[in-house]
Structure 1
Amino acid sequence: MQRVLITGAAKGIGRGVAEAFAAQGAKLVLMDVDAAGLEGAAAALAGKAAAVEICVGSVASLADCNRAAALAQSRFGGLDVLSHNAGIQTYGTVESTDEALWDRTLDVNLKGAFLVSKACMPMIRASRGNVVHISSVQGVASQAGVTAYSVSKHGLIGLVRSMAVDYAPYGVRVNGIAPGSVDTPLLRNAVDAAPDPAAVYAEIDGMHPLGRMAAPSEIASVVVFLASDNASFITGEVVRVDGGMRARLGGSPKTQ
């Protein structure tokens, strides 16, 4: 029975991960800044997971991360898996991104991954467990106008690889996932604010050779796999779950 700490668990990918581990009867600590969302997630998972605890807090705060880790220690005696999904989407170029937005993006998306890993690693090391970080396809390439976000996700991939090397001698595996577009409240809030949301949704679907966005459950299933014994020889890897997005070059010149 795995003991799992899940960040960003109130909604989106994190909520999907919580549901996937609950279906396996895991013991869960759910962490998010959204108190009402956490309570709703915990209520929905009651009777499915072996146990559910919630910790309202930000991954950008070491004190909050330490509280979540302490909760796992006190309630479950440790941790086997850290599933880090918390993140924010921000927009701007080097010129249009102000210092406050840059700092907030890096604090949540990159520093937050470092802090929650730091807080949980003693227990993960003791259990010879697993860490799975959610990056993005924009951690391996970049769209226009997402400088801070893209940098944060590129940096997160570096964190995955360095942690994998550092903790392999302890039997700990550290991996990442680079999703394409995922149907989450984060994405829908951004698209619905556009002048023509339907056109934006059509463009997003068309970016993926499979012709659609992913569901959170499709990302969650890869998290569960990477944290399982079926992935026992995989570490330092970043798995693209992007519907073929990065497999296709832009443009289709007709030569025949």
Structure 2
Amino acid sequence: MTQGEFAGSVALVTGGSAGIGAAAVRRLLEGGAQVAYCGTETAELPGASGTVLDVAEPAAVADWVTACAERFGGIDILVNSAGIQRYGTAEHTSDELWDEVFGVNVKGIFHACRAVLPHLRARGGGAIVNVSSVQAFVAQTNAAAYCASKGAINAFTKAMAVDHAHEGIRVNVVCPGSVHTPMLRWAVGLTADGRDTGELLGELGAAHPLGRVAEPEEVAELIAFLAGPRASFITGSEHRVDGGLLAVNAAEGPYRP
């Protein structure tokens, strides 16, 4: 980490109360940024300003962004980490479930980006980092809405990058593999059938060539790089942080170190 790399910067993080979002909040604070986050709850994140809101609600997001800009005097960085996981094939996904997933995972990012753009422009540029998933590239079974939402995030990221490059606004997307977060533990628990969650996480980690799932801080490090000045010529790009997961040829069977 470059000490003070975010000194004088103001960063907003959606989904910042847990998991990857909370790790991003801590990493940006360590770099010297002033940080505000929103989430479904507030968390113990000393030095950051937390707000409870639903990113699927455009007015709530717009009001939060405006309040942060007024409080801190501007905005330089937006990290979109809010997201939910739901299960179902296309045949067994209701309209309500589809809309719930897209409301948070896609429209939530759209709402935050739309609200923050004037503030980034006023600063002469800035950086947006969206959190997607390896499931934008490959599909897990029984997760049609989730996979579709992650593909949409990647496409939206590239569209924004092209539209706003001339304004000095960079937009990139991070695509994690399995990460040790509350959402992953919840998902693993759905099929535990009495088995130990730690054991199941170990089996999931074994599918990654590095032999484990990621820690949120490892994803946050990539987020911070893309948000910072060292990534000044990177925009519109997709960055996997997946422990080699997508490098494996599944036709050869599960990876075993």
TM (normalized to structure 1)? Answer: 0.91
Aligned alpha-carbon RMSD (Å)? 1.3
Q: How does 1:24-103 map to 2 (within 5 A)?
A: 24-34=31-41, 38=42, 40-41=43-44, 44-46=45-47, 52-103=48-99
Q: CA deviation at 1:53?
A: 2.2
* In structure 1, distance between residues paired with 2:218 and 2:164: 28
Match of 1:187 in 2: 184
* In structure 1, distance between residues paired with 2:136 and 2:252: 25
Query: C-alpha offsets along residues 227-250 of structure 1, whole Å, 9 cap, x if unaligned?
Result: 111101000001000000011111
The secondary structure found in structure 1 opposite 2:251 is coil
Q: CA deviation at 1:198?
A: 4.9
Is 1:222 aligned to residue 193 of structure 2? no
* In structure 2, distance between residues paired with 1:2 and 1:208: 35
Q: How does 1:121-136 map to 2 (within 5 A)?
A: 121-127=117-123, 128-136=125-133
Q: CA deviation at 1:199?
A: 5.1
Q: Which runs of 5+ in 1 are unaligned?
A: 47-51
Match of 2:15 in 1: 8
Q: CA deviation at 1:24?
A: 1.3
Is 1:139 aligned to residue 136 of structure 2? yes
| Runs of 4+ more than 6 Å apart | none
* In structure 1, distance between residues paired with 2:201 and 2:218: 19
The secondary structure found in structure 2 opposite 1:176 is strand
Q: CA deviation at 1:174?
A: 0.2
Count of matched residue pairs: 242
Q: Which amino acid aligns with 1:157?
A: N
The secondary structure found in structure 2 opposite 1:88 is coil
2:201, 2:213 within 8 Å by CA — same for their partners in 1?
A: no
Is 1:244 aligned to residue 244 of structure 2? yes
TM (normalized to structure 2)? Answer: 0.91
Q: CA deviation at 1:74?
A: 1.1
The secondary structure found in structure 1 opposite 2:236 is coil
1:55, 1:67 within 8 Å by CA — same for their partners in 2?
A: no
* In structure 2, distance between residues paired with 1:63 and 1:204: 39
2:129, 2:171 within 8 Å by CA — same for their partners in 1?
A: yes
Q: Structure 1 residues 215 and 119 mapped into 2: Cα distance closer, same or farther (>3 Å)?
A: same
2:132, 2:173 within 8 Å by CA — same for their partners in 1?
A: yes
Q: Which runs of 5+ in 2 are unaligned?
A: 1-7
